[in-house]
Protein backbone atom coordinates (compact mmCIF):
# COMPACT_ATOMS: atom_id res chain seq x y z
CA UNK A 1 0.00 0.00 0.00
CA UNK A 2 1.29 3.45 -0.93
CA UNK A 3 1.11 6.33 1.51
CA UNK A 4 2.79 9.73 1.59
CA UNK A 5 3.73 12.47 4.00
CA UNK A 6 4.19 16.06 2.98
CA UNK A 7 5.92 18.79 4.96
CA UNK A 8 5.05 22.26 3.68
CA UNK A 9 7.74 24.35 5.35
CA UNK A 10 8.28 28.09 5.15
CA UNK A 11 11.23 27.66 2.76
CA UNK A 12 11.06 24.12 1.37
CA UNK A 13 8.31 21.62 0.72
CA UNK A 14 9.28 17.99 1.23
CA UNK A 15 7.43 14.80 0.32
CA UNK A 16 8.12 11.21 1.32
CA UNK A 17 6.52 8.16 -0.26
CA UNK A 18 6.22 4.83 1.54
CA UNK A 19 5.36 1.48 0.00
CA UNK A 20 4.16 -0.99 2.63
CA UNK A 21 5.91 1.12 5.24
CA UNK A 22 9.25 1.14 3.40
CA UNK A 23 10.81 4.28 1.96
CA UNK A 24 9.97 4.49 -1.73
CA UNK A 25 10.95 8.06 -2.61
CA UNK A 26 11.63 11.61 -1.48
CA UNK A 27 11.38 14.99 -3.13
CA UNK A 28 12.09 18.56 -1.99
CA UNK A 29 11.40 21.85 -3.72
CA UNK A 30 11.11 25.53 -2.79
CA UNK A 31 7.73 26.37 -1.27
CA UNK A 32 7.30 29.72 -2.99
CA UNK A 33 4.19 31.80 -2.45
CA UNK A 34 1.48 29.30 -3.47
CA UNK A 35 1.59 26.69 -0.72
CA UNK A 36 -1.18 24.50 -2.13
CA UNK A 37 0.45 24.43 -5.57
CA UNK A 38 3.84 23.61 -4.03
CA UNK A 39 2.32 20.72 -2.10
CA UNK A 40 0.58 19.35 -5.23
CA UNK A 41 3.71 19.66 -7.32
CA UNK A 42 5.97 18.08 -4.71
CA UNK A 43 3.62 15.15 -4.32
CA UNK A 44 3.35 14.70 -8.07
CA UNK A 45 7.15 14.73 -8.42
CA UNK A 46 7.78 12.16 -5.70
CA UNK A 47 5.18 9.86 -7.24
CA UNK A 48 6.55 10.35 -10.73
CA UNK A 49 10.10 9.51 -9.60
CA UNK A 50 8.78 6.30 -8.02
CA UNK A 51 6.68 5.52 -11.10
CA UNK A 52 3.36 5.54 -9.29
CA UNK A 53 0.09 7.34 -9.86
CA UNK A 54 -0.69 9.92 -7.08
CA UNK A 55 -4.30 8.72 -7.21
CA UNK A 56 -3.15 5.35 -5.86
CA UNK A 57 -2.14 6.87 -2.52
CA UNK A 58 -4.08 5.19 0.27
CA UNK A 59 -3.40 8.02 2.71
CA UNK A 60 -1.67 11.37 2.84
CA UNK A 61 -0.71 13.23 6.01
CA UNK A 62 0.40 16.86 5.90
CA UNK A 63 2.61 18.77 8.29
CA UNK A 64 4.58 22.03 8.32
CA UNK A 65 3.29 25.57 8.61
CA UNK A 66 1.39 25.19 5.33
CA UNK A 67 -0.24 21.89 6.35
CA UNK A 68 -3.75 23.29 6.27
CA UNK A 69 -3.33 24.17 2.60
CA UNK A 70 -3.02 20.51 1.62
CA UNK A 71 -6.61 19.79 0.74
CA UNK A 72 -6.16 16.07 -0.02
CA UNK A 73 -4.62 15.26 3.34
CA UNK A 74 -6.43 12.66 5.42
CA UNK A 75 -5.01 14.35 8.50
CA UNK A 76 -2.85 17.31 9.44
CA UNK A 77 -0.31 16.85 12.22
CA UNK A 78 2.05 19.42 13.74
CA UNK A 79 5.73 19.49 12.84
CA UNK A 80 6.66 18.59 16.42
CA UNK A 81 4.94 15.22 16.33
CA UNK A 82 6.08 14.47 12.78
CA UNK A 83 9.73 15.35 13.35
CA UNK A 84 9.73 13.26 16.50
CA UNK A 85 8.31 10.27 14.64
CA UNK A 86 10.58 10.73 11.64
CA UNK A 87 13.77 11.28 13.63
CA UNK A 88 13.08 8.27 15.82
CA UNK A 89 12.53 6.09 12.77
CA UNK A 90 15.73 7.37 11.14
CA UNK A 91 17.82 7.08 14.34
CA UNK A 92 16.31 4.58 16.78
CA UNK A 93 18.59 5.75 19.63
CA UNK A 94 17.21 9.31 19.39
CA UNK A 95 16.01 10.81 22.67
CA UNK A 96 16.34 14.51 21.88
CA UNK A 97 15.49 15.94 18.46
CA UNK A 98 16.70 19.38 17.44
CA UNK A 99 14.79 20.57 14.39
CA UNK A 100 15.85 23.86 12.88
CA UNK A 101 13.64 24.97 10.05
CA UNK A 102 13.32 28.14 8.04
CA UNK A 103 11.21 30.14 10.45
CA UNK A 104 11.39 28.31 13.75
CA UNK A 105 13.43 25.90 15.76
CA UNK A 106 12.20 23.24 18.11
CA UNK A 107 13.72 20.82 20.54
CA UNK A 108 11.74 17.70 21.28
CA UNK A 109 12.29 15.21 24.08
CA UNK A 110 11.17 11.66 23.32
CA UNK A 111 10.11 9.07 25.85
CA UNK A 112 11.25 5.44 25.75
CA UNK A 113 8.47 4.59 23.30
CA UNK A 114 9.53 7.33 20.92
CA UNK A 115 6.55 9.55 21.73
CA UNK A 116 6.82 13.28 22.40
CA UNK A 117 7.39 13.76 26.13
CA UNK A 118 8.13 17.48 26.01
CA UNK A 119 9.06 20.19 23.53
CA UNK A 120 10.10 23.81 23.31
CA UNK A 121 10.14 26.20 20.39
CA UNK A 122 12.12 29.36 19.76
CA UNK A 123 10.38 32.31 21.29
CA UNK A 124 9.42 35.66 19.90
CA UNK A 125 11.99 36.10 17.14
CA UNK A 126 13.91 34.53 14.26
CA UNK A 127 17.15 34.03 16.19
CA UNK A 128 18.29 30.43 15.92
CA UNK A 129 16.36 29.70 12.73
CA UNK A 130 17.26 29.00 9.14
CA UNK A 131 16.05 32.44 8.16
CA UNK A 132 18.62 34.00 10.49
CA UNK A 133 21.41 32.12 8.68
CA UNK A 134 19.96 32.90 5.25
CA UNK A 135 20.02 36.63 5.96
CA UNK A 136 23.60 36.43 7.22
CA UNK A 137 24.72 34.30 4.26
CA UNK A 138 23.31 36.89 1.88
CA UNK A 139 25.08 39.68 3.74
CA UNK A 140 28.40 37.78 3.70
CA UNK A 141 27.89 36.74 0.09
CA UNK A 142 28.76 33.16 1.08
CA UNK A 143 26.44 30.31 0.01
CA UNK A 144 24.93 28.47 2.99
CA UNK A 145 26.40 25.22 1.66
CA UNK A 146 29.88 26.63 2.31
CA UNK A 147 29.26 27.46 5.96
CA UNK A 148 30.67 24.08 7.10
CA UNK A 149 33.94 24.45 5.19
CA UNK A 150 34.35 28.07 6.26
CA UNK A 151 33.58 27.12 9.88
CA UNK A 152 36.46 24.59 9.81
CA UNK A 153 38.83 27.21 8.39
CA UNK A 154 38.09 29.70 11.19
CA UNK A 155 40.70 29.78 13.94
CA UNK A 156 38.34 31.65 16.28
CA UNK A 157 34.78 32.87 16.39
CA UNK A 158 33.85 36.53 16.01
CA UNK A 159 31.57 37.70 18.79
CA UNK A 160 27.99 38.19 17.63
CA UNK A 161 26.22 39.47 20.73
CA UNK A 162 22.74 40.19 19.41
CA UNK A 163 20.16 37.48 18.92
CA UNK A 164 17.99 39.76 16.82
CA UNK A 165 18.38 39.04 13.09
CA UNK A 166 18.37 42.70 12.12
CA UNK A 167 20.82 43.78 14.83
CA UNK A 168 23.05 40.75 14.21
CA UNK A 169 23.17 41.72 10.54
CA UNK A 170 24.36 45.18 11.50
CA UNK A 171 27.02 43.55 13.71
CA UNK A 172 28.16 41.50 10.72
CA UNK A 173 28.38 44.65 8.61
CA UNK A 174 30.39 46.32 11.37
CA UNK A 175 32.79 43.35 11.60
CA UNK A 176 33.27 43.32 7.83
CA UNK A 177 33.95 47.05 7.87
CA UNK A 178 36.67 46.41 10.47
CA UNK A 179 38.35 43.96 8.13
CA UNK A 180 37.28 40.74 9.85
CA UNK A 181 37.28 37.78 7.43
CA UNK A 182 34.03 35.91 6.74
CA UNK A 183 35.27 32.66 8.38
CA UNK A 184 35.31 33.81 12.04
CA UNK A 185 32.05 35.66 11.42
CA UNK A 186 30.48 32.47 10.11
CA UNK A 187 31.73 30.58 13.14
CA UNK A 188 30.39 33.32 15.40
CA UNK A 189 26.99 33.13 13.70
CA UNK A 190 26.88 29.33 14.05
CA UNK A 191 27.82 29.73 17.71
CA UNK A 192 25.00 32.26 18.18
CA UNK A 193 22.47 29.79 16.74
CA UNK A 194 23.96 26.94 18.80
CA UNK A 195 23.75 29.09 21.93
CA UNK A 196 20.02 29.47 21.49
CA UNK A 197 19.57 25.80 20.68
CA UNK A 198 21.65 24.54 23.60
CA UNK A 199 19.52 26.56 26.01
CA UNK A 200 16.42 24.92 24.54
CA UNK A 201 18.01 21.46 24.78
CA UNK A 202 18.70 21.99 28.47
CA UNK A 203 15.11 23.07 28.99
CA UNK A 204 13.77 19.69 27.87
CA UNK A 205 16.74 17.82 29.36
CA UNK A 206 19.90 16.58 27.72
CA UNK A 207 20.31 12.81 27.75
CA UNK A 208 20.33 9.96 25.24
CA UNK A 209 21.00 10.30 21.54
CA UNK A 210 20.75 13.81 20.13
CA UNK A 211 19.54 14.02 16.54
CA UNK A 212 19.38 17.10 14.36
CA UNK A 213 16.77 17.43 11.61
CA UNK A 214 15.39 20.14 9.35
CA UNK A 215 17.06 22.16 6.63
CA UNK A 216 19.70 23.70 8.91
CA UNK A 217 20.98 20.25 9.87
CA UNK A 218 22.78 20.28 6.52
CA UNK A 219 24.83 23.18 7.84
CA UNK A 220 27.84 21.47 9.36
CA UNK A 221 28.90 24.67 11.12
CA UNK A 222 25.80 24.78 13.30
CA UNK A 223 26.14 21.05 14.05
CA UNK A 224 29.73 21.42 15.18
CA UNK A 225 29.01 24.54 17.23
CA UNK A 226 26.18 22.67 18.94
CA UNK A 227 28.47 19.73 19.72
CA UNK A 228 30.98 22.14 21.27
CA UNK A 229 28.29 23.75 23.43
CA UNK A 230 26.69 20.53 24.60
CA UNK A 231 29.75 18.23 24.74
CA UNK A 232 27.79 15.44 23.08
CA UNK A 233 27.85 14.10 19.53
CA UNK A 234 25.04 15.31 17.29
CA UNK A 235 23.73 12.78 14.76
CA UNK A 236 22.49 14.10 11.45
CA UNK A 237 20.80 11.33 9.48
CA UNK A 238 21.15 11.36 5.73
CA UNK A 239 17.49 12.15 5.25
CA UNK A 240 17.45 14.76 8.03
CA UNK A 241 15.70 17.31 5.85
CA UNK A 242 12.89 14.81 5.27
CA UNK A 243 12.34 13.85 8.91
CA UNK A 244 9.06 15.78 9.18
CA UNK A 245 7.64 14.42 5.93
CA UNK A 246 8.85 10.93 6.86
CA UNK A 247 7.11 11.18 10.23
CA UNK A 248 3.94 12.31 8.44
CA UNK A 249 4.21 9.35 6.05
CA UNK A 250 4.60 6.94 8.98
CA UNK A 251 1.46 8.38 10.57
CA UNK A 252 -0.31 7.94 7.22
CA UNK A 253 0.83 4.32 7.17
CA UNK A 254 -0.64 3.82 10.64
CA UNK A 255 -3.88 5.42 9.50
CA UNK A 256 -4.40 2.58 7.03
CA UNK A 257 -3.61 0.00 9.68
CA UNK A 258 0.16 -0.36 9.15
CA UNK A 259 2.42 -1.24 12.06
CA UNK A 260 5.42 1.00 12.57
CA UNK A 261 8.31 -0.21 14.69
CA UNK A 262 9.67 2.53 16.99
Partner 1 sequence: MMHFGTPSRFRQMVGRAAGGAARQTATRGARWTVVRPEVLLRRKWAYKVASAALPLLEARGAKAYQVAAIRCVLSDFADAYLGRKPCIFTSAFVPTELVYGLGGVPFLPEAAAGLAAAFGLAARSLSACEALWYSPDLCSFHRAGLGGAASGLLPRPSAVIVTSHLCDGGKRSLFHISRLAGCPFYMLDVPYVPSDRATRWLASQIEHVAGDLARRVPGLSLEGLAQALRRSNEALAEYERVSALRRNVPAPWLGSEALNYVLLFLWSWGSPSLAPFYRALRLHLERMIAAGDFPVRDERHRLLWLNLRPYYDTRVFKHLEGDRASSVAFEEYSFAYWPSLDPCDPFASLAEKMMSNFGWGPIERRLEVIERLVDDYSIDGVVQFAQWGCRQSNGGAAIIARELRKKGIPFLNLDGDGVDARCGTEAQAITRLGAFIELLDARRGG
3-class secondary-structure state, position 46: helix
Q: Does 11 bind partner 1 (CB under 8 A)?
A: no
Q: Does 119 bind partner 1 (CB under 8 A)?
A: yes
Tell me the CB-side half-sphere exposure of residue 218, using CA atoms within 13 A: 17
Q: Does 79 bind partner 1 (CB under 8 A)?
A: yes
Query: How far apart are CB 57 and partner 1 at their closest, in Å?
Result: 23
Sketch the per residue contact string, 48 through 77, with partner 1: x for CB under 8 A, - otherwise. Answer: -----------------x-----------x
Number of H helices, E strands in the chain: 8, 10
Query: At how many degrees (to 10) do helices 79-90 and 243-255 cross?
Result: 90
Show contacts with partner 1 in window 242-261 (CB under 8 A): none
Strands 59-63 and 75-76: parallel
Query: How far apart are CB 108 and partner 1 at their closest, in Å?
Result: 9
Nearer to partner 1, 77 or 236 (CB): 77
CB 10 within 8 A of CB 87: no
- Taking CB under 8 A as the criterion, the residue among 37, 115, 138, 149 binding partner 1 is 115
Query: How far apart are CB 79 and partner 1 at their closest, in Å?
Result: 7
Nearer to partner 1, 24 or 77 (CB): 77
**Residue length, the chain?**
262
- Taking CB under 8 A as the criterion, the residue among 37, 121, 149, 173 binding partner 1 is 121
Helix spans in the chain (H):
35-50, 79-90, 130-140, 147-153, 165-177, 182-204, 220-230, 243-255
Query: How far apart are CB 72 and partner 1 at their closest, in Å?
Result: 18
Query: How far apart are CB 225 and partner 1 at their closest, in Å?
Result: 24
Count the site residues for partner 1 by CB under 8 A: 16
Phi-psi region of 170 (alpha: psi -120 to 50; beta: other; left: phi over 0): alpha
3-class secondary-structure state, position 13: strand
Query: How far apart are CB 96 and partner 1 at their closest, in Å?
Result: 15
| Residues near partner 1 (CB under 8 A) | 65, 77-81, 104, 115-121, 123-124
Amino acid sequence: MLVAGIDVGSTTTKAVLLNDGKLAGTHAMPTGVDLAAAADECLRMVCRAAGVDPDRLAALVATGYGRDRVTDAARTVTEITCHARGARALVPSARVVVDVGGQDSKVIRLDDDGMVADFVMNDKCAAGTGRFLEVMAARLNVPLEEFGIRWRKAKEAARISSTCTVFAESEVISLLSHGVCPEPIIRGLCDAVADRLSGMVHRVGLGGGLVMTGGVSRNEGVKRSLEEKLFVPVTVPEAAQFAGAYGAALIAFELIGGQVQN
